[in-house]
Amino acid sequence: QQQVKQSPQSLIVQKGGISIINCAYENTAFDYFPWYQQFPGKGPALLIAIRPDVSEKKEGRFTISFNKSAKQFSLHIMDSQPGDSATYFCAANRGTYKYIFGTGTRLKVLA
């Protein structure tokens, strides 16, 4: 019940394409769903986050779609660029300090 399942494990997208990464959770008590971006040799950095009272949040080229009934949320990267090549982690939290992280998706955007 504490797991967050992330897919795909790796993703290759052409420049200008849309990258989509999916996560699913079981615990309905989760109320905060952030996405982190991690470049090689760096720690993860918060990219965008959503709470379950909204179905979508957009920041620039990055959009989170949230489906509360399906207990799923996804990250969409529009007009993907080579600079977006990184590992992306979804996470879930229930108002405490404990985050549950997905296993990560390694994204490669081809020039």
Partner 1 sequence: GAGVSQSPSNKVTEKGKDVELRCDPISGHTALYWYRQSLGQGLEFLIYFQGNSAPDKSGLPSDRFSAERTGGSVSTLTIQRTQQEDSAVYLCASSLPQLGYEQYFGPGTRLTVT
Residues that bind partner 1 (CB under 8 A): 4, 6, 9, 32, 34, 36, 41-46, 89, 93, 96-99, 101-104
Closest distance between partner 1 and the C-beta of residue 104, in Å? 6
Q: Which helix (H) or strand (E) holds 99?
A: strand 99-101
For partner 1, which is the closer residue by CB, 46 or 78? 46
For partner 1, which is the closer residue by CB, 43 or 83? 43
Residue type (1 letter), 36 = Y
- On whether the CB atoms of residues 64 and 35 are closer than 8 A, the answer is yes
Of residues 14, 11, 22, 4, the one with CA closest to residue 92: 4
Closest distance between partner 1 and the C-beta of residue 33, in Å? 12
Helix, strand counts (H, E) of the chain? 0, 11
Closest distance between partner 1 and the C-beta of residue 93, in Å? 7
For partner 1, which is the closer residue by CB, 66 or 88? 88
Closest distance between partner 1 and the C-beta of residue 97, in Å? 5
Rg of the Cα trace of the chain? 13
For partner 1, which is the closer residue by CB, 81 or 87? 87
CA 69 to chain centre: 18
